[in-house]
Amino acid sequence: MATVVVTDENFDEVVSKSQLPIVVDFWASWCGPCIAAEPIIEELAGAYAGKVVMGKLNVDENQAKAAEFGVMSIPTVIGFKNGQEVERKIGFGGKANYEDLIKRVSQVK
């Protein structure tokens, strides 16, 4: 399963109405650590398919939601459950860092 593209326009539909927990990667194409994180985010989208939705929001193209959530550094990955933020990781910490966030948000083992 691939990641879901999240935008200012579809954010409420994708995040607030998701039946599953959702993890959104706030990123930009010029950000080296964001590019390093991309294959890991894609891998985790497949590994946790059916348990967690993995989304990506480009902060250059979607500044309103980035500002609303106070994203000042990228990559920032925010976990949502029932439309509410429950966990966030700032910076690229590797696969284990993202898996930890996923497990905290979704309560998956």
H helix or E strand, kind and range, residue 64: helix 63-68
- pLDDT digit string (tens) for 4-37? 999 999 999 999 888 999 999 999 999 999 999 9
The one catalytic residue in 34, 44, 59, 102 is 34
Q: Are 56 and 4 in contact (CB under 8 A)?
A: yes
Between strands 76-81 and 53-58, the pairing is unpaired
Domain ranges of the chain: 4-106
Q: What is 4-106's CATH topology? A: Glutaredoxin (3.40.30)
Question: How remote is the C-alpha of 109 from its chain's centroid?
Answer: 19
The one catalytic residue in 24, 31, 41, 101 is 31
Identify whether 31 is a catalytic site residue: yes
Neighbouring-strand partners of residue 56: 5, 25
Reported pTM = 0.94
What confidence score (pLDDT) does residue 109 get? 47
Q: Are 55 and 24 in contact (CB under 8 A)?
A: yes
Identify whether 58 is a catalytic site residue: no
- pLDDT digit string (tens) for 47-101? 999 999 999 999 999 999 999 999 999 999 999 998 999 999 999 989 999 999 9
